[in-house]
Amino acid sequence: MHVGKRRYVAAAIQMESGADFAANVARAEELLDAAARRGAALAVLPETFAFMGRQAEFRRYAEPLDGPLVSRLRGIARRTGMVIVAGTVFEEAGKSAGDRADGRADDRVDGLADGRADDRVYNTCPVIAADGTLLAAYRKVHLYDNDVTGGPPARESAAFIPGDELVVARTDLGSLGLAICYDLRFCELTRRLAVDGAQVIALPAAFTLYNGRDHWETLLRARAIENLVYIVAADQAGRPPESYACNGRSMIVDPWGIVLATARDGEGIACAEIDLDRLAALRQRLPCLEHRRPEVYG
């Protein structure tokens, strides 16, 4: 049973997704059901949970946000009563009026964020309420282009259109700020989410093992401490075919930087309690967000 709206259990779901789309989606549903059985009111899936294969195939699995994949996840939310941060999905650009959470058609098909009209898609994080309502959708802002040691080069900009809006979703469980994987390295983004009211930041990821073994936990704890927020970080694990090895170690960090739960190797779930009253007390005890001086440093 859910602990309540001020205190509740969150679940960071860790997957080893591969190139079998149907199998990945079925496994995500199994893990969401397992999180619900453990009492989770909030569940976060990892980045690109439905397909970790060749970038050239991303377009094949792209849908509008009123397509079958998000619709299936909305049904799972209704059935389990959980708020679901649906990792990321490959979102078609401007295919229907329903592809935005606010119901407005996306007019950026021929005028994309970097000026190109092409076959790329958005790497989008939907947030679904416990009643199945699509509350919000965040399109990944920072795209990871890098030569990954021990794996093929990462060129997200070749497959994805960068987003240009930050999102804080208002839910029955508090205000959820949204960030995706590489966004974690940009302290400006998480600070803006906190200033805009985020109490919990949900971070779906497919963080590389090469960087993650040294940086993942440190970055998560730093972002939590400096913004006095909970972070629920759901990562991919293992090494998908034709891709780089992922870090795993999905975790939940509290506003004091304490790691509350960490997933084991392989697939699994990290669960911990979110206590919004504790968050409020910590922010009152250390009001650093109120002491900001943006007029000095921007």
Cβ 69 vs Cβ 25: under 8 Å: yes
Tell me which residue of 63, 69, 104, 103 sits closest to 86, measured CA to CA. 69
Which is catalytic among the residues 140, 217, 267, 271? Answer: 140
Which is catalytic among the residues 91, 125, 181, 267? Answer: 181
Containing 125, the helix (H) or strand (E) segment is strand 121-128
For the beta carbon of residue 66, count every other beta carbon within 10 angstroms.
Answer: 16
Which is catalytic among the residues 47, 63, 92, 267? Answer: 47
Q: What's the pLDDT score for residue 1?
A: 39
181 catalytic residue (yes or no): yes
Q: Which stretches within the chain are classed as H helix?
A: 21-37, 68-80, 187-195, 209-227, 276-285, 294-297
Q: How far apart are CA 8 and CA 13, in angstroms?
A: 16
Q: What's the pLDDT score for residue 95?
A: 55
95 catalytic residue (yes or no): no
- DSSP, collapsed to helix, strand or coil, labels residue 36 as helix
Q: Where are the domains of the chain?
A: 7-297
187 catalytic residue (yes or no): no
- Quick: pLDDT tens for 149-175: 666 778 999 999 999 999 999 999 999
* Below-70 pLDDT ranges, the chain: 1-4, 95-117, 148-151
The CATH architecture of the domain made up of 7-297 is 4-Layer Sandwich (3.60)
Tell me which residue of 257, 256, 180 sits closest to 217, measured CA to CA. 257
Q: What's the pLDDT score for residue 52?
A: 95
Tell me which long-range contacts 289-294 makes (C-beta under 8 A, separation of at least 24): 289/194, 289/195, 289/227, 289/228, 292/195
Q: What's the pLDDT score for residue 150?
A: 64
For the beta carbon of residue 242, count every other beta carbon within 10 angstroms.
Answer: 15
